[in-house]
Every structure is written in C-alpha cells, then in structure tokens.
C-alpha cells in the first residue's frame, strides 16, 4: 500500500494522467470526470492536503498556482473567461486530499455559488 495521494501517483507516473502543463512547482492535468468542456486541475508537486494547510512557506507556491492557472486558461483558449474553484475540507466538498485548483471553462457558468 502507499499513502501517496492519487495526484502524487499521477505526478510520479504511477497512474495515468493527461498533462496540459508542468513546471518545477505545479502540474496540470485534465479532470477524469469533466464538469465543463475544459476542466483542468492545477496541482502543486508538494502534497499539501488542502488550503487549510497552507503556511507562510507556501506563499510563493500559492502564487505560482494562480499564475499557472492563468497561463493554462490562455493556452486552453478561455479568453471569454472561466471559473477557478478550490474545494476545501469536508464542507467544501473536497474529495482528494491534495490541494488543487479546478479551472472550468468552455461554457457559461450559470450556477451562482455566491449571491
């Protein structure tokens, strides 16, 4: 058995994944069950469990994740906009305990999650 996260196993090539971006800090793969025509997960190589576990040492990493998301959205042709989601913890609906951003695009996001 391994205690590595699914995403660490994909990053390490132990499980398949469709990579759309990689640098020294983050990778991005297509979601297995896309909720939009473009659904990409931006994942830090460091297996931080969730946003709740970020600390001062992760400030650059957090910025690099956002910058990568912006670059990937451009690369994916999402010039009309997109949505970034970070599900966090049980109440946030997080299912994989390895921090990740969802980039959702390619359709109009009609679901209003905030007033």
Instruction: Count CB-CB contacts under 10 A for residue 104.
Output: 21
Nearer to ligand 5GP, 78 or 104 (CB): 104
Nearer to ligand 5GP, 81 or 90 (CB): 90
Residue 101: partners with Cβ closer than 8 Å, 6 or more residues away? 41, 42, 65, 66, 69, 84, 85, 86
Is 59 a binding residue for ligand 5GP by CB under 6 A? The answer is: no
Least separation in angstroms between CB 32 and ligand 5GP: 3
> Which contiguous run of DSSP H or E holds residue 104?
strand 101-105
With contacts defined by CB under 6 A, how many residues of the chain interact with ligand 5GP? 13
Site for ligand 5GP, rule CB under 6 A = 6, 17, 29-33, 41, 87, 93-96
């Amino acid at each position: 058995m391994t205690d590595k996260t699914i995403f660490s196993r994909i990053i390490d090539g132990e499980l398949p994944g469709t990579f759309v971006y990689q640098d020294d800090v983050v990778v991005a793969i297509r979601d297995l069950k896309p909720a939009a025509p473009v659904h990409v997960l931006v994942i830090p190589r460091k297996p931080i469990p969730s946003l709740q576990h970020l600390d001062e040492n992760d400030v650059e990493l957090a910025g690099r994740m956002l910058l990568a998301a912006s670059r990937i959205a451009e690369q994916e042709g999402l010039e009309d906009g997109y949505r970034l989601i970070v599900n966090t913890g049980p109440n946030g609906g997080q299912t994989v305990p390895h921090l990740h951003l969802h980039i959702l695009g390619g359709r109009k996001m009609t679901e209003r999650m905030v007033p």
